[in-house]
Amino acid sequence: MRVGGNRGRSACSRFFRFTLGKVNTRPGENERLESKFNLSYCGGDMSETPLGFLFFEVSRLYRARTDRAFEQGGLGITSGEARTLIYINQHPGLRQTALAEKMSVEPMTLVASLDRLEAQSLVKREPDPTDRRAKRVLLTPAAAPLIARITSIALAAREEILNGLSEDQIANFRTALDRMRVNLVAGRDADDA
């Protein structure tokens, strides 16, 4: 698909500005990125799906497949809640704020998820002994069998999703995603400073 002519470029630029408006960048960075975006996607050949679009689409489809697997498995929780349980299992006793940061979610998003999980007696929040205002998050014994089921169902879904990829391709993909996450977190932290 090619967006051509002044009208197409204008619409493409408006799309870019709308999208970029949600991202904080350094002074002058918006113009540089918009120029690169216009050259690559608005006036150029779009025979390949732009990488960013592909990330969003694959992420959405991956999450939908995982949600469906959890629903079919009768877990009674969403993939976001399952992710929360897995993170708590990997990092028991973290404060809520540290857990939210580790998961790259807003603290209020995590609180809502923890409220639902606590109502199901899967997690508990305790005052931190070093700061009573802070809450530490722990799994309850009732969560252990659910963690095992989450892991099993997620593994089956992941095998389906990664079908046709070699172990080397999966390892390289993981390395690339880890590097991208580091870059994005560093950029976010620099913007917050």
Share of the chain above pLDDT 90, in %: 51
Q: Are residues 108 and 187 in the same domain?
A: no
Q: Of 142, 131, 130, 132, whose CA–CA distance to 88 is shortest?
A: 142
On whether both 124 and 94 belong to a single domain, the answer is yes
Q: Are 149 and 73 in contact (CB under 8 A)?
A: yes
pLDDT for residue 4: 44
Q: Based on the domain organization, do 62 and 109 belong to the same domain?
A: yes
Specify the CATH number for the domain of residue 84: 1.10.10.10
Closest CA to 88 of 128, 124, 133, 35: 124
The verdict on 35 and 56 lying in the same domain is no
Beta bridge partners of residue 137, listed in sequence order? 125
Q: What is the pLDDT of residue 33?
A: 63
What is the per-residue DSSP string for 10-36?
Answer: HHHHHHHHHHHTTS---TTHHHHHHHH
> Looking at residue 12, what is its pLDDT?
56
* Band of pLDDT at residue 151, cut at 50, 70 and 90: very high
Looking at the structure, do residues 16 and 77 belong to the same domain, yes or no? no
Closest-CA residue to 92 (of 132, 124, 116, 115): 124
Residue 81 and residue 142 share a domain: yes
Same domain membership, residue 137 and residue 150: yes
| 69 and 138 assigned to the same domain | yes
- Looking at the 3D structure of the chain, how many domains does it have? 3
pLDDT tens per residue, range 41-95: 555 556 788 888 888 999 999 989 988 998 899 988 888 899 999 999 999 999 9
Residue 48 per-residue DSSP state? S
Angstrom distances, CA of residue 54 to CA of 36, 37, 72, 103: 18, 15, 27, 22
Same domain, 190 and 104: no
Do 78 and 121 belong to one domain? yes
Other CB atoms within 10 A of residue 178 CB: 10
Q: pLDDT tens digits for 2-54?
A: 444 444 445 555 555 555 555 555 556 666 665 655 555 555 556 788 888 88
Same-domain check for residues 28 and 66? no
**The domain containing residue 39 runs over which residues?**
5-48
What are residue 134's phi and psi, to 5 degrees? -90, 150
Confirm if 146 and 88 have CB atoms less than 8 A apart: no
Say if residue 57 is in the same domain as residue 120: yes
Instruction: Calculate the average pLDDT of the chain.
Output: 82
Q: Identify whether the C-beta of residue 76 lies closer than 8 Å to the C-beta of residue 153.
A: no
